[in-house]
Chain A
Amino acid sequence: MKYVLKKVLSCIITLFIVSLLVFVAFSLIPGDPALSRLGTNATEAALASLRHQMGLDRPLAVRYFEWLASAIRGDFGKSYSYSMTVTSMIADKLPITLTLMLYSMVLMVIISVPLGVYASYKEGTAIDKVIQIINQITMAIPPFFSGILITLIFGMTLKMFTPGGFVSVKISPSRFFGFMFFPSLAIALPKSAMVLNLLYSSLNAEKKKDYVRTAYSRGNKSKTVFFGHMLKNASIPTITFLGMALADMIAGSIIIEQVFGIPGLGRILLTSIQNRDYPVVIAIIMLIACVVIVSNLLVDIIYKLVDPRVKD
């Protein structure tokens, strides 16, 4: 219990540091947001009133704590570019990106686990080598190129989906999920190659361990040993990797959203960065930081429960 409290506390401190760094960094960027809203021929009075309205006339520290206080309550202020709250903007886009990530996570497991197990089971055979070569190449394909290739093959040649034809789930759930399959595949493919590789090498490492030899010497069948013992042990690093891949998938989804024209969180982040709509940028970065830090925390805590030997 003490361990958990300590971890949670340190997470809160970390989040606090991140928010401070991010907020200060974006506040120090040269340029007056009020001026860029009103233009050079704005009167000084109008500028002052807008600055006041935007809260820019107060010291940085005060602004930070005010922002923090409302951020904790889920209020990230108002977007500069859109007359709407940041929270409502994000709430609108988050489901799209989450679907994309979840979808690709599932695809990743479906693709990589059977292939990795099969390749290791057939280690040394021609099939194993073919899988290895394809895997090596897949790993080298950056997500944006895999996206383009998928568009080219499945979208334009096979006409299995409409490139750029994102459909909101509100309009048609079936078309939404049908469309999302392909971008998810684009994210999942290179990652699956990594998972496959990891699973393959940890399975092969297990083969050399004593318990496997013991199991064989007790007369167990090859299949029982493989699936009953080794696979379970080899899964541990793989599952850890899957957990960590979450952060990478956020990055992947930013690019893939661009390739497939999906109006998700990544698209908003990107345009807000380019439009210097800082309230939105800060909020999205904090959101990602939260997801990353909290999922790390959960993994830590559960590891501790599973294996009390884990050091504090």
Chain B
Amino acid sequence: MKQKKISFNLILGSVLLAVTLVPALIGLIWTPYDPEAMNSSLKLAGVSIRHIYGCDNFGRDIFSRIMAGSGITLLIAVGTVAFGSIIGTAIGAFTGYFGGIIDEALMRINDVALAFPSLLLALVMVSLLGTGKYQVMLALGIAFVPSYARIVRSEYIRIKNLDYVKAARLAGASDLRIMFVHILPNTRTVLLSSVMIGFNNAILAEAGLSFLGIGVQPPDASLGRMLSEAQAYMFTNAGYVLFTGCTIVMIILGFSLLSKEIK
């Protein structure tokens, strides 16, 4: 019984991600229509065989835009998580390993940063850095650093007193070598699951920022940006809003189902 349920989550998660991510990946190279090509005769056209999700207010093919848009959203998520986890790991490793007053100070700032909702932190960052694809990546990345730093730090504190680390130190290994060759590989399980969660949070945060109009700039399509544009045409083309929103939900649901299984 239990076994059956696990595979159900796994299958559903994989299916959802396949349905959303495969088009997104293909969208990086090829889309059925140019996502930016306008056509006045197709303004807000409904669902048809040629345009399976219909068209937006510029007659742009919504399906192509969702393909391209999820690509940008995913790209930002990857960039954000990579930035956040690498910097966060470095900070967490040093503070956790060495401790001391710097550790105290950094962790105090970290605690404050963690208490803030990440969207708010990203908002502040965006107001300092400006809007645009890469700025959003950086802003979200910075906002994500504290959570990784905290997780990695506590792992280092736990591991640094284990016997094998002590042995390595006695054998004359340098601090840097111990930190990155001996301890880092042992934090991977914890790190991996937080990367998965972080990925989801990054997608949500990007969509949120772009939805608020301070993320990705038009005519770039990102899922959040598209959703906020689609909102204006809820009366005439509800499909626009629904297809875009459901894509976000499917991606997030897919990832959370999968990460549940990995745990």
Which residues from A are CB-within-8-Å of B261? none
Q: Is A23 an interface residue (CB 8 A)?
A: no
A14 touches B123 (CB 8 A): no
Which residues from B are CB-within-8-Å of A101? none
Query: Given A142-B204, A145-B227, are A270 and B212 also a contact pair (CB < 8 Å)?
Result: yes
B200 (CB) vs chain A CBs: closest residue: A140
A17 touches B128 (CB 8 A): no
Q: Give Cα A293–Cα B115 distance, bound, in whole angstroms.
A: 7
Q: Give Cα A254–Cα B115 distance, bound, in whole angstroms.
A: 16
Q: Give Cα A136–Cα B253 distance, bound, in whole angstroms.
A: 7
Distance (Å) between the CB of B72 and the closest chain A CB?
Answer: 17
Q: Give Cα A14–Cα B108 distance, bound, in whole angstroms.
A: 7
Interface flags, A11-25, vs B, CB<8A=1, else 0: 001100110011001
B117 touches A247 (CB 8 A): yes
Which residues from A are CB-within-8-Å of B212? 254-255, 258, 270
| Interface hits, A117-174 → B, CB 8 Å | 136-137, 139-145, 148-149, 151-152, 156
B252 touches A140 (CB 8 A): yes
Stretch at the interface among A72-80, A84-92, A216-224, A284-292: A284-292
Distance (Å) between the CB of B27 and the closest chain A CB?
Answer: 21
Distance (Å) between the CB of B202 and the closest chain A CB?
Answer: 12
Query: Given A251-B119, A258-B211, are A140 and B253 also a contact pair (CB < 8 Å)?
Result: yes
Please pick, from A141, A145, A156, A276, the residue contacting B234 in the complex, using a CB distance under 8 A. A156
Interface flags, A24-39, vs B, CB<8A=1, else 0: 0110010000000000
Q: Give Cα A294–Cα B238 distance, bound, in whole angstroms.
A: 43
B207 touches A144 (CB 8 A): yes
A285 touches B124 (CB 8 A): yes
Stretch at the interface among B54-62, B177-185, B241-249: B241-249
A254 touches B112 (CB 8 A): no
Q: Is B109 an interface residue (CB 8 A)?
A: yes
B238 touches A152 (CB 8 A): yes
| Interface hits, B94-151 → A, CB 8 Å | 108-109, 111-112, 115-120, 123-124, 126-128
| Interface hits, B186-213 → A, CB 8 Å | 204, 207-208, 211-213
Q: Give Cα A139–Cα B231 distance, bound, in whole angstroms.
A: 21
Q: Is A113 an interface residue (CB 8 A)?
A: no
Distance (Å) between the CB of A207 and the closest chain B CB?
Answer: 15
Interface of B is mostly: helix
Q: Give Cα A211–Cα B226 distance, bound, in whole angstroms.
A: 53
Q: Is A234 an interface residue (CB 8 A)?
A: no
Q: Give Cα A22–Cα B124 distance, bound, in whole angstroms.
A: 9
Q: Is B214 an interface residue (CB 8 A)?
A: yes
Which residues from B are CB-within-8-Å of A270? 123, 212, 214
Distance (Å) between the CB of B175 and the closest chain A CB?
Answer: 28
Which residues from B are CB-within-8-Å of A143? 208
Interface flags, B213-247, vs A, CB<8A=1, else 0: 11000000000100110010011001001000100
Please pick, from B116, B120, B256, the residue contacting A139 in the complex, using a CB distance under 8 A. B256
B252 (CB) vs chain A CBs: closest residue: A140
A145 touches B248 (CB 8 A): yes
Which residues from B are CB-within-8-Å of A274? 127, 213-214
Q: Is B67 an interface residue (CB 8 A)?
A: no
Which residues from B are CB-within-8-Å of A156? 234-235
Q: Is B257 an interface residue (CB 8 A)?
A: yes
B211 touches A144 (CB 8 A): yes
Q: Is A66 an interface residue (CB 8 A)?
A: no
A13 (CB) vs chain B CBs: closest residue: B108
A132 (CB) vs chain B CBs: closest residue: B5
Please pick, from B111, B117, B250, B256, the residue contacting A14 in the complex, using a CB distance under 8 A. B111
Distance (Å) between the CB of A146 and the closest chain B CB?
Answer: 9
Which residues from A are CB-within-8-Å of B256? 136, 139-140
A145 touches B249 (CB 8 A): yes
Which residues from B are CB-within-8-Å of A13? 108
Q: Give Cα A21–Cα B121 distance, bound, in whole angstroms.
A: 13
Distance (Å) between the CB of B11 and the closest chain A CB?
Answer: 14
Query: Given A148-B231, A254-B120, A293-B112, are A140 and B127 also a contact pair (CB < 8 Å)?
Result: no
B249 touches A248 (CB 8 A): no
Query: Given A136-B253, A152-B234, are A255 and B111 also a contact pair (CB < 8 Å)?
Result: no
Which residues from B are CB-within-8-Å of A145? 227, 245, 248-249
Q: Give Cα A156–Cα B116 distance, bound, in whole angstroms.
A: 34
Which residues from A are CB-within-8-Å of B124? 22, 25, 273, 281, 285
A21 touches B109 (CB 8 A): yes
Q: Which 9 A-B pairs have the closest CB atoms?
A: A251-B117, A140-B253, A251-B119, A273-B127, A145-B245, A140-B252, A292-B115, A144-B211, A140-B249
12 contacts between A and B (CB under 8 A): A26-B128, A140-B253, A142-B207, A142-B252, A144-B211, A145-B245, A152-B238, A251-B119, A254-B212, A258-B212, A270-B214, A288-B120
Interface residues of A (CB under 8 A from B): 13-14, 17-18, 21-22, 25-26, 29, 136-137, 139-145, 148-149, 151-152, 156, 247-248, 250-252, 254-255, 258-259, 269-270, 273-274, 276, 281, 285, 288-289, 292-293, 296
